[in-house]
Amino acid sequence: MDKLRANLIRPVLVPLPELFVERLRSIVPPERFDGVLGSFSAPQAVGFRINRLKGSEDAALDELRSVGLSPEAVSPVPGAFAVPAEQRPQLLNSEPASRDAIYIQNVSSQLPPLILDPQPGERVLDLCAAPGSKTRQLACLMQDEGEIVAVEKVRKRFYKLKANVARQGSTIVRPVLGSGTAYWHREPEAFDRVMVDAPCSTEGRFRTDDPETTRYWSRRKIKEMQAKQRRLLFAGIQALKPGGTLVYSTCTFAPEENEAVLHKALRTFGDAVELVDARLDDLVGDAAQPGLLGWNDRVFNPHVSKARRVLPDGTFEAFFVACFTKHESTMRS
């Protein structure tokens, strides 16, 4: 009977869209393709980090271990930990999770704030902030000193962002309900650092055991996302002080939403901005691949190779991260 019950609850696997697989084969290095394809159905480690605004790292880890969980540091990613996939329910229901001493967040999602590297006392703009995962991480990295303006356009997601930040105990986050593409008009060139974790086609979160993850994917969706991403990156650059740093990230493979968006920004702003090394190789090793220099007969600015596409491997989800430095004002752009 137990075996029959297990068969009844086993998820039905659905194939990934053929067009997606075809595109993926042209994006991922041949020697990595089978592993990446298999990651969409393989168990995923559950990443999390410690909320240092509510206690020490050692205390939280000791508490998790005391109830039978086996957290391991994801070296060398600072502050990142993971437990095996089968421990996810227990981790979610643990006492540290219930009081917000830990926060469940895939390790790849933790990379953009680490690359942005905000410092205590700075002003930081998070243009696409909900549900607040990276906003909260930024506050921890800043030791809750300075100011984070966290912008979210969708009202329901905005209130989720507010609640998430409030539970963490941060005092430096100022949630703003409004359009990320327009906020720079209110505070042009006013921020030391800007995070643009853009909405995307979420290809990195496709799962063969969850048909909802691929239901709305299409070329049209990619094009729609690209238009939004260009506007958001433009807005982020306009809000950034000369001398400041901006990180652009997505959780998708699509070059149209990644390298092509960077190419457009470089063409628009010229020498006022520079793409610099995203510095991911030391954090994720060979899971990081340089940005593509072309796609579908289109040639990109060679500097887009400084961006990094993180390939999924059971611990890391697929992600794309790029880092800009702003050299001079862009108010005429």
Which positions are annotated as active-site residues? 251
User: How many residues in total does the chain contain?
Assistant: 333
CA gap 260, 289 in Å, rounded: 16
Residues 6+ apart with CB under 8 A from 284: 77, 111, 310, 316
CA gap 224, 198 in Å, rounded: 12
Torsion angle of alpha carbons 143, 147, 152, 155, nearest 10°? 90
DSSP E strand stretches across the chain: 46-50, 72-73, 80-83, 102-104, 123-126, 147-152, 173-177, 191-197, 240-250, 273-276, 288-290, 294-295, 298-299, 308-310, 319-326
Name 149's bridge partners: 125, 174
Closest CA to 48 of 17, 77, 13, 7: 77
CA gap 115, 266 in Å, rounded: 20
Residues 6+ apart with CB under 8 A from 80: 47, 49, 73, 74, 107, 110
Angle between helices 133-141 and 155-168 (to 10 degrees): 30
Backbone angles phi, psi at 268, to 5 degrees: -75, -45
CA gap 323, 28 in Å, rounded: 21
The pair of three-digit structure tokens given for residue 116, joined into one six-digit string: 């942005």
Taking the CA of residue 147 as centre, how many other CA atoms within 13 Å lie in the half-sphere pointing to its CB?
A: 9
CB atoms closer than 10 angstroms to residue 298: 13
